[in-house]
Amino acid sequence: MDAVPGYPQVQAALWIGGKSLPAADGFCLDVADPSTGQAFVQIAAGGVDEAIAAVDAAEAAAPGWVAASPRDRAEVLRRAFELMTAEAERLADVIVMESGKSLADARGEVAYAAEFFRWFAEEAVRIDGQLSVAPSGRHRILTLQQPVGISLLVTPWNFPAAMGARKIAPALAAGCTTVVKPASETPLTMLVLADILERAGAPAGVVNVVPARSSSAVVSAMLADRRVRKLSFTGSTGVGTHLLAEASGRVLNCSMELGGNAPFVVFPSADVNDAVAGAMHAKMRNGGASCIAANRFLVHEGIAEEFARCLAAAMARLRLGPGWDPASDVGPLVSRGEREHVAGLVEAALDDGARARTGGAAPDRPGWYYAPTVLDRVHPDAAILSQEIFGPVAPIVTFATAEEALLLANNTDSGLAAYVYSGDLAEALRTAEALEVGMVGINRGLISEPAAPFGGVKVSGLGREGGHAGVLEFCETKYVAVDW
Ligand code: NAD
């Protein structure tokens, strides 16, 4: 890759078997800066041959990595945490330049991503089995947790470091070797992570990275390879369901972290200022491009006007600008397509009678920006409430009773996260129990936490990442009947 003034230097090649490889015959991928809309670098991309070479490398590395002691594996992960922390600014700069997010969001992402290495370094030495006496008393039941095997990790663009770390760290802790297929919009961050892991001591072939121009060809080739035993995917529900169907042919072990449509419920007993502060976190982390972003604000009719006014004022104060500028609170969306998606949802809602309390349009400037927007009077059937917005737009719907709030909240096929603001803990806990989601924030707009199990129900996914559950996703349980 040629150096581009203003951009940090990144090794932009395939990473297979501990080596940087150039692209085969013209297989290149343009990476664009969302703040200008212009490509700034071309990197090597892999095709089917490179995907299979990466599986070869993962296969070659597997016996050594399985045999490494849990402590040795933990030490690699711990060093990765330390290197990432020491090099946080460089990594944040790379995240900003390819994803567009603000520097503050990128720094937050690096810290969050690094914590997965620390957490799973601690988990690597705590993968235990069980011994019990069979009910008949005639034998013993011994269970072991063993690594599932070569794992294909497919990651999205919205958290290019954290979504990779959330998979690589537990896979390595469990003793699996991996091939990572990063999002085509944001491959550079994963190449930096691979470099960090190599310096942390991960042996060649334990982590391989194959950016691709044709994701479907590369991923399909690996899903069809009988040596691959695991798919861990984070991305949209549409692509995820397609890959689940593909993986079913070989009965692959799958963990799927898919799209969300989080409700943010504000009961009349809530402190409105707290609820607005929480809403700003739940909505605006990563400029709204988060799977757990609050997508539907369900606010009691008695406080809806005050909530809308305060939220609109807070959103209007945000400064839109290129992510690299520390003065920017919100960067651009990742691509023209994402901006068109957001703009289309807002226009349809406005046509349907919604009112823009702030924002409501894309500013007239280069890059894929969209103004932070608050909509109220949104019709309960509006499309903006049934799809992931994935941008800085907060639609508000009112409710009259707790039962109505719950019906509205659960009226979606998605079930990733939800938020509840209430001054009545019993009401909040009752609601948390009844919400059809995998995660709930009560009086809290930030719920991502490496030590907690992250994941969804319904079409939002299968399995959990983070916590102790995260490492078990990369293990298979073996039962041994013993008589002594
Ligand atoms: P995406 O589904 O378009 O892409 C995800 C990954 O799959 C990328 O690496 C992409 O290159 C690859 N891909 C795309 N089409 C493919 C195909 N046909 N075959 C094989 N691979 C393919 O998602 P995205 O736009 O990168 O990310 C945004 C989505 O990810 C949102 O829906 C968001 O909610 C979801 N997400 C979920 C979580 C979670 O933990 N549940 C976290 C972050 C993002």
Distance 238 CA to ligand 1 centre (A): 9
Q: Which residue puts its alpha carbon closest to atom 28 of ligand 1?
A: 235
Q: Does any domain span residue 324? A: yes
Shared domain check, 223 and 198: yes
Cα(296)–Cα(221) distance, rounded to whole angstroms?
38
> Which residue has its alpha carbon closest to ligand 1 atom 18?
216
Tokens 């992960």 appear where?
77
Ligand 1 mutation pick, 116, 157, 241, 416, max ligand atoms within 8 A of CB:
157
Residues 22 and 69 in one domain: yes
Please check whether residues 334 and 444 belong to one and the same domain. yes
pLDDT at residue number 422 = 98
- With respect to residue 339, please indicate whether it lies within any of the assigned structural domains: yes
Whether residues 282 and 316 fall in one domain: yes
What strand order describes the sheet that includes 178-181?
19-21, 14-16, 207-209, 178-181, 150-154, 228-234, 253-257, 461-462
**C-beta of residue 459 within 8 angstroms of C-beta of residue 259:** yes
What pTM does this model have? Answer: 0.97
* Strand spans (E) along 22-85: 28-33, 38-44
Pair 469, 348 in one domain: no
Q: Which of 358, 367, 303 is nearest to 339 (CA)?
A: 367
C-alpha of residue 236 to centroid of ligand 1, in Å: 4
From 101, 214, 234, mutation site for ligand 1 pocket: most ligand atoms within 8 A of C-beta: 234
Under a CB-based contact definition with an 8 Å cutoff, are residues 190 and 45 in contact? no
Q: How many domains does the chain have?
A: 2
Nearest CA to ligand 1 atom 20: 216
Which helix (H) or strand (E) is 144 found in, with range?
Answer: strand 140-147
For the CA of 454, the nearest atom of ligand 1: 40
Amino acid identity for residue 428 in this structure: A
d(CA 228, CA 253): 10
Q: How far is the CA of 7 from the centre of ligand 1 (A)?
A: 26
Atom of ligand 1 nearest to the CA of 154: 9
Any idea what the CATH number is for the domain that residue 111 is in?
A: 3.40.605.10
Closest ligand 1 atom to residue 292 Cα is: 34
- Domain presence at residue 430: yes
Are 213 and 312 in a shared domain?
no
- Which atom of ligand 1 sits closest to the CA of residue 216? 19
> 454 lies in a domain?
no
Predicted pLDDT at 11: 57
**Per-residue model confidence (pLDDT) at position 10:** 57
According to the model, what pLDDT value does residue 1 have?
Answer: 44
Furthest-apart CA pair in the chain: how many Å? 77
pLDDT at position 42, please? 87
Distance (Å) from CA 26 to ligand 1 centroid: 25
Query: Is residue 379 one of the residues assigned to a domain?
Result: yes
**How far away, in angstroms, is 157 Cα from ligand 1 center?**
7
DSSP assignment string, 297-339: EEEETTTHHHHHHHHHHHHHTPPB--TTSTT-SB---SSHHHH
150: CA distance to ligand 1 center in Å? 21
Question: Which residues have a catalytic role annotated?
Answer: 257, 291
pLDDT for 19: 94
Q: What is the mean pLDDT of each run of 10 residues along the chain (484 residues)?
A: 50 86 80 94 92 98 98 98 97 96 98 98 97 97 98 98 98 98 96 96 98 95 98 98 98 98 98 98 98 98 98 98 97 97 98 97 96 96 96 98 98 98 98 98 98 98 98 98 93
Taking Cα atoms as reference points, which of 109, 98, 167 lies closest to residue 334?
A: 98
Closest CA to 53 of 212, 244, 243, 242: 212
Nearest atom (ligand 1) to Cα of 219 = 20
Q: Which domain holds residue 388?
A: 262-413+417-449
Whether 352 is in a domain gets the answer: yes
Ligand 1 atom with the shortest distance to the CA of 338: 25
Alpha-helical (H) ranges within 224-255 are 237-248
The closest residue, in CA terms, to atom 11 on ligand 1 is 183
Domain assignment present for residue 455? The answer is no
To test the ligand 1 pocket, which listed residue (214, 291, 447) has its Cβ within 8 A of the most ligand atoms?
291
Question: Do 286 and 427 belong to one domain?
Answer: yes
Residue nearest (by alpha carbon) to ligand 1 atom 39: 257
**What's the pLDDT score for residue 9?**
54
Asked whether residue 36 falls in the same domain as residue 10, the answer is yes
Per-residue CA distances from 444 to 93, 265, 278, 419, 447 (Å): 29, 11, 6, 7, 7
Looking at the fold, whether 194 and 267 belong to one and the same domain comes out as: no
Residue 237 Cα, ligand 1 centroid: separation in angstroms? Answer: 8
CATH of the domain at 384: 3.40.309.10
- Counting other chains too, the contacts that 422-431 makes at CB distance below 8 Å and 24 or more residues apart are 422/265, 422/266, 422/267, 422/269, 422/270, 423/267, 423/269, 423/270, 423/271, 424/267, 424/269, 427/267, 427/269, 427/402, 428/267, 431/265, 431/267, 431/402, 431/405, 431/406
80 and 131 assigned to the same domain: yes
Question: Tokens 């919604």 sit at which residue?
Answer: 354
Please list every protein residue whose CB sits less than 6 Å from any atom of ligand 1.
154-159, 163, 181-184, 215-216, 219, 234-236, 239, 242-243, 257-260, 291, 388, 416, 456, 461
Nearest CA to ligand 1 atom 42: 291
Residues 228 and 175 in one domain: yes
Residues 243 and 367 in one domain: no
Q: Report how far ligand 1's centroid is from the alpha carbon of 478 (Å).
A: 32
From 31, 153, 228, 239, give the residue whose CB has the most ligand 1 atoms within 8 Å, as the site to mutate: 239
| pLDDT attached to residue 2 | 47
64 located within any domain: yes
Joined tokens for residue 448: 């991502």
